[in-house]
Amino acid sequence: MPSTLAPDVRADSYPLVDLVEGVVRSTELEVGGKRYPVLLLRRSGKVQAFLNACPHQYLPLDFQGNNLLSADGSMLMCSMHGAMFTIDNGECVNGPCAGANLTAIAVHEENDRLKLDAVLW
């Protein structure tokens, strides 16, 4: 029996209704027959997706907690060593991987759900 608390996550899509401003969702989604850990967030109405792998040690950003947004909501933060990433392009602007980037993933909307386009490393 499906849980009434968990969002309706399917292997290849995520419900747009559960992507609200100021909340980062950590999940796994499938594209091209492969499953990827991803971070999803909505900012100024636009949904963005990043591979959930910090370029410092390739741990998930939520490895040690799920507080992944800076206080002003403008940066993603790695819970392990505190690296800070711009939401605009995933660039690390402070921390042990400064200058490196989170891998951004293009997305599209389909029938009220979010789907990933190809993941390009």
Question: By the criterion CB under 6 A, which residues form the site for ligand FES?
Answer: 54, 56-57, 59, 78, 80-81, 83, 95-97
Q: What's 13's DSSP letter? A: B
Amino acid at the residue 101? N
Residue nearer to ligand FES on the CB measure, 80 or 116: 80
Kindly state the smallest distance separating residue 57's Cβ from ligand FES, in Å: 4
Residue nearer to ligand FES on the CB measure, 40 or 61: 61
For residue 75, what are the β-bridge partners? 86
Kindly state the smallest distance separating residue 7's Cβ from ligand FES, in Å: 25
Query: Torsion angle of alpha carbons 114, 81, 88, 38, nearest 10°?
Result: -10
Residue 34 DSSP SS3: strand
